[in-house]
Structure 1
Amino acid sequence: MPLATTRRSGLVDQVIEQMRSAISSGEWRVGGRIPTEPELVAALGVGRNTVREAVRALAHAGLLEVRQGDGTFVRATSEFSGAVRRLAGTELRDVLRVRRILEVEGARMAAAHRTEADLAELTELLATRDRTMSAKDWAAGVDDDAAFHIAVVRCSHNALLAELYQGLTEVVRASVASTVDTHPAAQLVDHGGLLDAIRDGDADRAAAEAGGFLDELIAGLGEDTPQDTAPAQSAQPVEQD
Structure 2
Amino acid sequence: MSLDPVRRPTLSAEVLGTLRRQITDGVWPVGTRIPPEPELMRQLGVARGTVREAVRALAHAGLLEVRQGDGTYVRAASELSGAVQRLYNDRASAELLDVRDALEGKAARLAATHATNEDLDALAAALERRAAAWASRDFDGWASADWEFHTRVADASGNTLLAVLYRNLTEPLRASMSGFWERPGFNGADPAGHEDLLAALHGKDPAEAARQADANINATAEWHRSTT
Counterpart residue identity of residue 26, structure 2: G
Unaligned 5+ runs, structure 1: 1-6, 224-241
Query: Which deviates further from its counterpart, 133-142 or 193-202?
Result: 133-142
Q: Cα–Cα, structure 1 residues 66 and 195, in superposed 2: closer, same or farther, change >3 Å?
A: same
- Is 1:146–1:176's contact at 8 Å kept on the other side of the alignment? no
Q: Name the residue aligned to 1:233.
A: none
Question: Where do 1:122-161 residues align within 5 Å?
Answer: 122-161=123-162
Q: Name the residue aligned to 1:18.
A: 18
Q: Provide the alpha-carbon RMSD of the alignment.
A: 2.4
Query: Which deviates further from its counterpart, 102-111 or 137-146?
Result: 137-146
How far apart, CA to CA, are the structure 2 residues paired with 1:36 and 1:134?
A: 40
Q: State yes or no: 1:176 paired with 2:177.
A: yes
How far apart, CA to CA, are the structure 1 residues paired with 2:109 and 2:166?
A: 15
Offset from partner CA, 1:5-31 (integer Å, 9 cap, x none): xx9963322322232222223332223
Q: State yes or no: 1:217 paired with 2:220.
A: yes
- Is 2:185–2:223's contact at 8 Å kept on the other side of the alignment? no
Q: Name the residue aligned to 2:3.
A: none
Counterpart residue identity of residue 139, structure 1: D
Unaligned 5+ runs, structure 2: 1-6
TM superposition score normalised by structure 1: 0.79
Cα offset for 1:150?
Answer: 0.7
How far apart, CA to CA, are the structure 2 residues paired with 1:115 and 1:97?
A: 28
TM superposition score normalised by structure 2: 0.83
Counterpart residue identity of residue 202, structure 1: D
Q: Cα–Cα, structure 1 residues 8 and 141, in superposed 2: closer, same or farther, change >3 Å?
A: farther
- Is 1:119–1:199's contact at 8 Å kept on the other side of the alignment? yes
Q: Cα–Cα, structure 1 residues 63 and 53, in superposed 2: closer, same or farther, change >3 Å?
A: same
- Is 1:11–1:50's contact at 8 Å kept on the other side of the alignment? yes
Counterpart residue identity of residue 109, structure 2: R
